Amino acid sequence: MQDRNPLLTLFYVLVVIFLFFPILIVVPISFSSGRFLSFPPEEFGLRWYINYFSDPVWMAATFRSLRVALGASILATFVGTLSVIGLGRKRSKTSGALTALFVAPAIVPNIIVALGVFILAVRMGVSDNELTLVCAHAAIGLPFVVLMVGSAYRQIDPTLERAARIMGAGPLRAFLTATLPPLTPAILSAGIFAFFVSFDELIISLFLMSSAETLPMRIWNDLRFEINPTIAAVSVFFVVVTTLAMTIAELLRRRAEKNNAA
């Protein structure tokens, strides 16, 4: 191995600090027991965590977010996986255009999606409705599912399904036997991604919801009126859960890649 350039090392450390400082700074704050958001904190305790978990408003927002994210994730995964199979393995002009269409919500700024969804929802009289939010979040989660499941799908040997057919399985049975098992890790990991696309999302939720807050909305609204260390506790909780889930998703994705390569 070559000698490391000390300047390069310094640069690396600075980048890491730059990326992680905003996240890490909330950790000590969340464990403070002072009344106000201050840094560095003087005393430590679990006061703000207790506050978070015992406040019905925070809890309602948390559970609403979990509910919406679960619904959006399931919907996006289901629709996305079926789309991938519908698009098929071979790339053609039609499938290229359709893929671009499915992936579009990831490229269009969320604020534009939010505006569109808001206008539509008001017209149809379904704004401030959890189901509407589930659908909107599923739409922005869909691109990740189409991309992740699609790339796994194209790596699966198509002769496996033919083999199943010639041995007596109908089309559905052949899919379930030959294609679904190697596809499952990618579907699960895409589902987790879609879950957090929804769980993190603020802008569309702000446009669409008013009385019923999601967790990011609650944080946003809370921040606007008072700066309160509860938010730091919520943030740490949020970061831990997200990191864990994303790690699981990434491990699943890698395992799928390795299996398909074998």
Return the axis-axis angle of helices 130-155 and 110-124, rounded to nearest 10°: 130
- What's the min distance (Å) between Cβ of 190 and another protein? 19
Q: Return d(Cα 262, Cα 54) in angstroms, integer.
A: 50
Nearer to another protein, 115 or 163 (CB): 163
- What's the min distance (Å) between Cβ of 91 and another protein? 16
**Cα–Cα separations (whole angstroms), residue 232 to 23, 25, 74, 98, 204:** 10, 9, 29, 42, 23
- What's the min distance (Å) between Cβ of 250 and another protein? 21
Query: In the 8-state DSSP scheme, what is residue 210?
Result: S
Return the axis-axis angle of helices 47-54 and 56-87, rounded to nearest 10°: 70
Q: Return d(Cα 121, Cα 29) in angstroms, integer.
A: 39
Q: Which residues bind another protein (CB under 8 A)?
A: 157, 159-160, 162-170, 173-174, 177-178, 181-182, 259, 262
Nearer to another protein, 55 or 161 (CB): 161
Helix (H, G, I), strand (E, B) or coil at 202: coil
- What's the min distance (Å) between Cβ of 85 and another protein? 18
Nearer to another protein, 157 or 250 (CB): 157
Is residue 154 within 8 A of residue 89, CB to CB? The reply is yes
Q: Return d(Cα 214, Cα 197) in angstroms, integer.
A: 13
Nearer to another protein, 85 or 103 (CB): 85
Nearer to another protein, 30 or 260 (CB): 260
- What's the min distance (Å) between Cβ of 185 and another protein? 11
